[in-house]
């Protein structure tokens, strides 16, 4: 069935270039050897977010950051590791609200481990659903691109024209039905 083919190719096509910038990957590759302490600018650079956002996260109660003698923030390795985790969760769509909840569990002590796992599992499932949702949309978009003729409303006649030519192994009827005009 052609839908599976397209789905497979859609998934394969993801092997191109990552969505994370190459620098960001490099910077995150070796979390093992983090410096003892970092400035806000260094952390911002590491995480690819602005100092403003870092201060915002701190204000939101997601992380505690010490101050140096000059009043400047001093991020130790523990704070940085937590921020790496937090930004990863944010990037995958976890709301600030849930993140605050999770952090409060962590700070509450070891007896909250079970509930923390519930949060993680819930988010994992949400990410899975979102990926699936996006993959379905991707298939639809790729189909539309593959069959695009420039329809401006009266679209039906164009879908029959490529039978025989078969320029890109077009998907099946179920897709055609799911992909309307424009």
Partner DNA sequence: CTACGCCTTCGAGCGCGCTCGAACGCAAAA
Partner DNA sequence: TTTTGCGTTCGAGCGCGCTCGAAGGCGTAG
Distance of CA 13 to the CA centre of its chain: 17
Q: Is 177 in the site for DNA (CB under 7 A)?
A: no
From residue 78 to residue 117, the character string flagging contacts with DNA as x (rule: CB under 7 A) and all else as - is: ------------x----xxx--------------------
- CB-based contacts of 37, cutoff 8 Å, min separation 6: 74, 75, 76, 77
Backbone angles phi, psi at 74, to 5 degrees: -125, 105
DSSP 34-96: --SEE-HHHHHHHHT--HHHHHHHHHTTS---EE-TTS-EEEEHHHHHHHHHHHHHHHTT--H
CA distance 2 to 143: 11
Q: Using the structure block, give the residue that is written with the tokens 């983090």.
A: 34
> Could you say which of DNA, its own copies, none residue 70 binds, taking C-beta under 5 to 8 angstroms by partner kind?
DNA
Closer residue to its own copies, CB minimum distance, 55 or 116: 116
Which of 53-61, 106-114, 120-128, 156-164 is the region at the interface with DNA (rule: CB under 7 A)?
53-61
> Could you say which of its own copies, DNA, none residue 164 binds, taking C-beta under 5 to 8 angstroms by partner kind?
none
Q: How many residues bind DNA (CB under 7 A)?
A: 21
Q: Any idea what DSSP says for residue 31? A: -
Q: Is 116 in the site for its own copies (CB under 8 A)?
A: yes
Closer residue to DNA, CB minimum distance, 61 or 149: 61
Closer residue to its own copies, CB minimum distance, 136 or 169: 136
> Could you say which of its own copies, DNA, none residue 71 binds, taking C-beta under 5 to 8 angstroms by partner kind?
DNA
Residues binding its own copies (CB under 8 A)? 11, 13-14, 16, 18-20, 28-32, 78, 80-82, 84-85, 88-89, 91-93, 102-103, 106, 109-110, 113, 116-117, 120-121, 123-124, 127-138, 140-142, 144-145, 148-150, 152-153, 155, 174, 177-182
């Amino acid at each position: 069935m052609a839908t599976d083919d397209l789905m497979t190719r859609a998934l394969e096509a993801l092997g191109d270039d990552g969505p994370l910038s190459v620098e960001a990957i490099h910077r995150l590759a070796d979390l093992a050897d983090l410096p003892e302490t970092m400035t806000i600018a260094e952390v911002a650079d590491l995480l690819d977010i602005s100092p403003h956002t870092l201060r915002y996260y701190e204000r939101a109660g997601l992380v505690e950051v010490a101050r140096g003698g000059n009043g400047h923030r001093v991020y130790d390795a523990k704070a940085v590791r937590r921020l790496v985790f937090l930004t990863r969760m944010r990037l995958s769509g976890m709301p600030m609200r849930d993140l605050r909840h999770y952090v409060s569990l962590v700070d509450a002590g070891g007896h909250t481990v079970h509930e923390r796992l519930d949060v993680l599992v819930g988010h994992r499932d949400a990410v899975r659903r979102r990926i699936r949702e996006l993959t379905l949309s991707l298939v639809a978009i790729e189909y539309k691109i593959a069959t695009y003729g420039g329809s401006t409303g009266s679209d039906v006649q164009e879908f029959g024209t490529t039978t025989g030519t078969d320029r890109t192994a077009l998907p099946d009827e179920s897709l055609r039905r799911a992909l309307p005009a424009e």
